[in-house]
Amino acid sequence: MSGRLAVVDVSKRFATQRVLSDVSLDVEAGQVHALVGHNGSGKSTLVKILAGYHAAERGARAWVDGEPFKLGDPDAAYERGLRFVHQDLGLVEGLDAVDNIFLGNVYPRNRWGRIDWTQARREAAAVLEELGYSIDVRRPVGALSLAQRTGVALARALYQRGRKARLLVLDEATSALPSTAVSHLFQVIRRLTRRGLSVVYISHNLEEVLAIGDWVTVLRDGHVVAVEDVAALDEARLVERMVGSPIPLSAGAARSPSSAEVPALRVRELSAGAIRGLDLDVAVGEIVGVTGVAGSGRDELAAALFGSEPRRGEVAVLGRRVPPGRPDRSIALGLGLLPTDRGRNGLFPEMSVRDNLTLPILPTRAGRLLLDKRREADADTWLDELGIRPRDPTRRMRELSGGNQQKVLLARWLRARPKVLILDEPTQGVDVETVDHIHRLIQQAAAEGMSFVVCSSDTEELRELSDRIVVLYRGREQCQLTGPDITREAIDTAALMFTEVAS
């Protein structure tokens, strides 16, 4: 096969769900080939197959510079010169740039066979400087800026003491970078491609795709639906390829409290992470969905509202101000959070299922914490309500599957009945049969007066649940969708079109 990378007939199924169907990809030497598609299109699975993390189904074939290699084998991918920089960068933040670059490579040695640290620092600095990054290689990577950490990840991928890199896969590597850092990265990419390196560029940001790409492959629902010269496309045409039809998008009128009503949740000038001066009102009993591509601020919003991450601006529940940095006060004022990282922020893994359900709403009497057996009995009924298996209230949380852990956390908050519940990827890791049940419980609670903010990357979930959807881009509200505008196509398009949204 000719070209730098040729991949043919790649298919992949997880249980009953087919995520890739006979996908082919051709990348020429010195080319930036973009790979785009909405969430769930199969991009991440294809990258993981190339990297060797997943195995493809029988019949898939791949070549680099005409030499075949085995898909699903990380060593084979490395030997053929495939390198990867992922969105999370995968760096060890407690180590310096030298160790991050040489880990997995071969450290230089002195004549006694020991690591030559002077030479290692010299080589690390040289590869970073070649990429245009001036970094003190002795500093812990965690103390560097995000742009500098991206430089270290690039240097690690391209360091050539071992096999020479032939193709670099950048998977959402710019999602949280400021525009100046993105411009610098583009200069680095152009310099590398002029030397013959090929780049597969994956991004939700279509402006970037059009600015840096030579060719683009579009995935939709696990199929290749277009392979086109970027020069012949604009943003609207590219969105049409991704969605499947031209979508006339308009911003719907927001359903928000009238001036005479006190909103369940009032947010003014919220800034946190990528979020920049966001305003948001949520009415009593309203379900507001929040979406946006990586780096839009969607991922930071839930923790910022709840107060578990630093923020600036005002958050109020039914007119009462919620102080930042005090999740305990947030709960007391009627604000709850179902976090996406349940392992770190939601569970008491060594405690029982019953205790995990009961702890947030234990009553206190005379300044002492007292167990209420009736509340514990009520907790047991939620095991049946959400179909938590195994149905054993004394079982330790860490022994449950991820999906069942998520059910317990949701049951905890639905029992506690906060005024506003923030849900961050609420059905992540939950089996398909339970998703509809969870959605019905959320809708029932909303009908009874509870308000919800649902931060989700699942388009179908947002369509099913939301009275109104707020689309974020670069930390600000881009548009809102309401009523008949809430369709899968409109949500995907709104998240992708950015500046193309009609006002």
Does the pLDDT at position 257 exceed 60? Answer: no
Query: Mean pLDDT lowest for which of 188-192, 415-419, 442-446?
Result: 415-419
Does the pLDDT at position 364 exceed 70? Answer: no
Does the pLDDT at position 499 exceed 60? Answer: no
Does the pLDDT at position 204 exceed 90? Answer: no
Does the pLDDT at position 379 exceed 70? Answer: no
pLDDT (mean) for 48-63: 91
Integer Cα distance of 300 and 146 in angstroms: 16
- Structure confidence at residue 366 (pLDDT): 37
Q: Is the model more confident about 396 or about 50?
A: 50
- Structure confidence at residue 438 (pLDDT): 83
The band of 246, judged by pLDDT with boundaries at 50, 70 and 90, is: low
Packing angle of the helix pair 146-158, 117-130 (nearest 10 deg): 110
- pLDDT tens per residue, range 181-195: 788 889 889 999 999
Q: Is the model more confident about 498 or about 113?
A: 113
Domains of the chain: 5-243 (3.40.50.300), 250-334+419-503 (3.40.50.300), 349-417 (no CATH)
DSSP code string of 156-199: HHH--SSSPP-EEEEESTTTT--HHHHHHHHHHHHHHHHTT-EE
The band of 255, judged by pLDDT with boundaries at 50, 70 and 90, is: very low
Does the pLDDT at position 100 exceed 80? Answer: yes
- Structure confidence at residue 459 (pLDDT): 81
pTM of the model: 0.61
Does the pLDDT at position 6 exceed 50? Answer: yes
Does the pLDDT at position 314 exceed 90? Answer: yes
Half-sphere exposure of 14 (CA within 13 A, CB side): 9
Per the CB < 8 A criterion, the answer to whether 418 and 331 are in contact is yes
Integer Cα distance of 114 and 120 in angstroms: 12
DSSP code string of 239-296: HHHHHSS----BPPPP----TTSPPSEEEEEEEETTEEEEEEEE-TT-EEEEE--TTS
Q: Is the model more confident about 498 or about 301?
A: 301
Does the pLDDT at position 502 exceed 70? Answer: no
> The tokens of 156 are what?
């690690």
Q: Is the model more confident about 433 or about 150?
A: 150
Integer Cα distance of 376 and 382 in angstroms: 10
Q: Which residues pair with 268 in a beta bridge?
A: 314
The band of 317, judged by pLDDT with boundaries at 50, 70 and 90, is: very high
404-424: string of b/e by CB count within 10 Å (b at 16+)?
A: bbbbbbbbbbbbbebbbbbbb
pLDDT (mean) for 338-350: 70
Share of the chain above pLDDT 70, in %: 84
- Structure confidence at residue 452 (pLDDT): 96
Does the pLDDT at position 432 exceed 90? Answer: no
Does the pLDDT at position 357 exceed 80? Answer: no
Write down the H helix ranges in 342-487: 342-345, 353-358, 373-385, 402-416, 432-447, 459-465
Does the pLDDT at position 493 exceed 80? Answer: no
- Structure confidence at residue 91 (pLDDT): 87
Does the pLDDT at position 500 exceed 50? Answer: no
